[in-house]
């Protein structure tokens, strides 16, 4: 019974959403409400060296204005902080706060737990195979997490 291509797309989306929805819920349960993937993604980029809004925008493939808005939210929640750069007065150096790191750590743990759960359902070897195959198909293309409503914009067809 060969499934249709549209079904396959739906399966992938469904898998992703299952994971993500569960993770979001668990994070909220642990006291980190309002944590969004974009936030996590941004914090990782900041940790990795994107210490100003313009650079963060570039790394996330988003306009610097959008990056600035994300930063504003993160800052408001206390996940990142900014101070002026003594060497370049135009910049405000960004860094992730201990609280921000805690969110990152917990988020990772939650996702790993979910993966373990799937592993118990499918078996370690099976899940590993599935991952390998997906990796083959997806390739090394970086995944962008931006673009609000992209699901509605890009999801081209038949899904």
Residues 75-104 within binding reach of its own copies (CB under 8 A)? 103-104
Quote the tokens at residue 32: 């980190």
* Rounded-to-integer distance, Cα 99 and Cα 78, Å: 7
Question: Considering beta carbons, is residue 90 or 121 the nearer one to its own copies?
Answer: 121
> Phi and psi dihedrals of 144, rounded to 5?
-90, 140
Residue 68 contact among DNA, its own copies, none, beta carbon within 5 to 8 Å by kind: DNA
CA geometry: angle 45, 62, 82, nearest 5 deg: 50
Q: Pick what 113 binds: its own copies, DNA, none; C-beta below 5 to 8 Å, kind-dependent.
A: its own copies
For residue 80, give the H/E element and its range.
strand 80-84
Question: Judged by CB under 8 A, which stretch of 52-60, 74-82, 92-100, 123-131 contacts its own copies?
Answer: 123-131
**Residue 52 or residue 104: which is nearer to DNA going by CB?**
52
Site for DNA in 68-87 (CB under 7 A): 68-70, 73, 87
Q: Which does 52 bind (CB under 5 to 8 A by kind): DNA, its own copies, none?
A: DNA
How many CB atoms lie under 10 A from the CB of residue 106?
A: 17
């Amino acid at each position: 019974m060969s499934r249709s291509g549209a079904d396959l797309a739906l399966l992938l989306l469904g898998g992703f959403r299952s994971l993500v929805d569960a993770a979001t819920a668990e994070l909220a349960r642990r006291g980190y409400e309002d944590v969004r993937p974009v936030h996590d993604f941004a914090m990782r980029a900041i940790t990795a060296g994107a210490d100003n809004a313009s650079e963060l925008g570039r790394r996330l493939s988003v306009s610097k204005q959008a990056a600035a808005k994300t930063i504003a939210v993160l800052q408001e929640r206390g996940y990142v902080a900014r101070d002026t750069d003594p060497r370049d007065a135009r910049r405000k150096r960004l860094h992730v706060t201990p609280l921000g790191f805690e969110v990152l750590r917990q988020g990772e743990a939650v996702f790993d737990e979910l993966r373990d759960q799937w592993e118990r359902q499918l078996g370690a070897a099976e899940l590993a195979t599935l991952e390998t195959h997906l990796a083959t198909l997806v390739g090394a293309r970086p995944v962008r997490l931006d673009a609000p409503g992209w699901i509605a914009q890009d999801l081209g067809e038949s899904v």
